[in-house]
Amino acid sequence: ITVLELTQNDLERLDQQLAVKVEQAPDFFNNTPLVLALDKLPTDCNLDLPALIALCRKHGLRTLALRAGDPQIIEAASTLDLPVLPPSGARERKLDLASKTPAEPTKPAEPTYRPTRVVTTPIRGGQQVYAKDGDLIVLAAVSPGAELLADGNIHVYGPLRGRALAGIKGDTNARIFCQQLAAEMVSIAGHYKVAEDLRRDPLWTEAVQMKLSGDVLNITRL
């Protein structure tokens, strides 16, 4: 998935830069899935997030998620129903803190409740459905151009012809299940395969499950 990292709040300049890129590679900018990395922007930069997303859409980039740490940007993303990924380097900072602070005995973590979002109607092209903090179950067909996003697993009890992105906050144990694999793209924790890869798989159009083995996205028959 393409990541666009911004270090300054200058939409006019970004517009010009993207226009140049589109001219150089017009085929690339064709409803391309995008993660906007905004964690390097100055704090309190008063970013106009809807305008930024509209600008990206104008140049053929479809924003699937943000990477941010600024509370104002996170709040704006929530209003737009966009998933927010943790800032880059957040994991490393946690490791640094752990190395300096003696570990304290902790109680075993209690099982956390992961809500499941169930959709019973077909997902049409252009629709985006997101299951925050849990699994997504679709009891109907998913059309080309539709997008499924989940922090957990994705289950499709019908043909999967759109895009399915599971474990979008980094859950490498997430899986994707579908009754008929005909997807434009599948992704688990950022590891993805596009239609060109999937069509070469012998299980194309079959009932399958997808999971990660290390950094490899494996497809097996259900």
71: enclosing H helix or E strand: helix 71-79
pLDDT, position 100: 46
pLDDT, position 108: 53
pLDDT, position 114: 65
Domain 2-100 belongs in CATH node 3.10.310.30: no
Residues of the chain with CATH 3.30.70.260: 2-100
Q: In this structure, which amino acid lies at residue 89?
A: G
- What pTM was computed for the model? 0.59
pLDDT, position 46: 86
pLDDT, position 80: 84
SS3 57: helix
pLDDT, position 77: 85
Residue ranges in the chain modelled with pLDDT below 70: 1, 86-114
| CATH code reported for the domain at 116-221 | 2.160.20.70
pLDDT, position 88: 54
Q: How many residues does the chain have?
A: 222
pLDDT, position 94: 34
pLDDT, position 198: 93
CB burial of 177-210 (b: ≥16 within 10 Å; e: otherwise) equals bbebbbbbbbbbbbbbbebeebeeeeeeebebbb
C-alpha 200/C-alpha 138 separation (Å) is: 25
For 161, phi then psi, to 5°, come to: -110, -10
Residues of the chain with CATH 2.160.20.70: 116-221
